[in-house]
Structure 1
């Protein structure tokens, strides 16, 4: 179950570098909930992503050899004046949102609906689950969007094991975050 954010919650962001002031223009597109700044309430998840992010940054020449990732921490300062959508479980509506943001031309109605939110939260489809999502998008479980394909994909994702993530998609949402600090995660 993914909870609605509460005033004072501490959220974590894993990367190859410290992030004090997120910039939406630097955020990658085609992520689970679209372009935005991603955070989690699970510090271990952020630590894992910091390591993965650092490995990718080294492989892509973004940074020279680096033996640590960084987890940046933020305090969330309330829901006032934000449009927030929370996918409480990894079900077919969550799956369609993830696929809509990862594959052009699929579930356009979902993309349109998501465009009106400042924050979208739900389960994380991480590197460990990526192959299942890609297989689903290739129609290997049946027609994308069909009940049977959805059911197979969700069952294989083991949704009870997935951690949470929150995508801050607007400047208004980012303004609700206060940088608390960061720590290095050694690899």
Structure 2
């Protein structure tokens, strides 16, 4: 399978220490099978941080997702489990250690207003069902691929 990473600066080596904490699935390297989504995310980074739209292309053998050497979590849809997983990762402020031991997590991308919706849920202004509905990506379900360990990152072949 081909996966894309949208950014504002080209790089040759994936460095997980440069990944930001408090993302949907935790600190890691995020990709998409949807080129348009990667381009949109790159454009947002350019608008926030400057630079140029850069799309990095990788090949990944999806047969490895069933390998016993990898710990993989797949969220098929917007569910309570998915929302709680995102809530835990986005709301982790004690330290930057991982909240889970997954090498790869695959699941829907949350919409751009995640922070506000999580705050409303934690403040008990909305219930879990409302949170899930509001976290759905506005353009329909789009899947993101999280590679959170060196073991997983080594499986990506830059094209």
TM-score interval (norm. to shorter)? 0.7 to 0.9
Deviation, structure 1 residue 19: 3.3
Deviations 1:100-143 (A, max 9, x none): 001137xxxxx3xxx221001111114255533342233211xx
1:20 and 1:137, CA in 2 relative to 1: closer, same or farther beyond 3 A? farther
1:37 and 1:92, CA in 2 relative to 1: closer, same or farther beyond 3 A? same
Are the equivalent residues in 2 in contact too, given 1:99–1:137 (CA < 8 A)? no
- Runs of 4+ in structure 1 deviating by more than 4 angstroms, as ranges, are none
Residue-pair matches, total: 151
Counterpart-to-counterpart distance in 2, 1:129 and 1:103: 11
Partner of 1:101: 89
Counterpart-to-counterpart distance in 2, 1:168 and 1:134: 26
Q: Which moved more, 1:31-40 or 1:76-85?
A: 76-85
TM-score normalised according to structure 2 size: 0.85
Partner of 2:134: 156
Q: What SS does structure 2 have at the residue aligned with 1:73? A: strand
Q: Which moved more, 1:121-130 or 1:92-101?
A: 121-130
Deviation, structure 1 residue 54: 1.3
1:117 paired with 2:86, answer no
Tell which structure's C-alpha radius of gyration is larger: 1
Stretches of structure 1 that go unaligned for 5 or more consecutive residues are: 1-8, 59-65, 106-110, 142-148, 181-187
Are the equivalent residues in 1 in contact too, given 2:32–2:38 (CA < 8 A)? yes
Stretches of structure 2 that go unaligned for 5 or more consecutive residues are: 94-98
Partner of 2:96: none
Match of 2:24 among 28, 32, 56: 32
Alignment of 1:80-91 (within 5 A): 80=67, 81-91=69-79
Partner of 1:168: 147
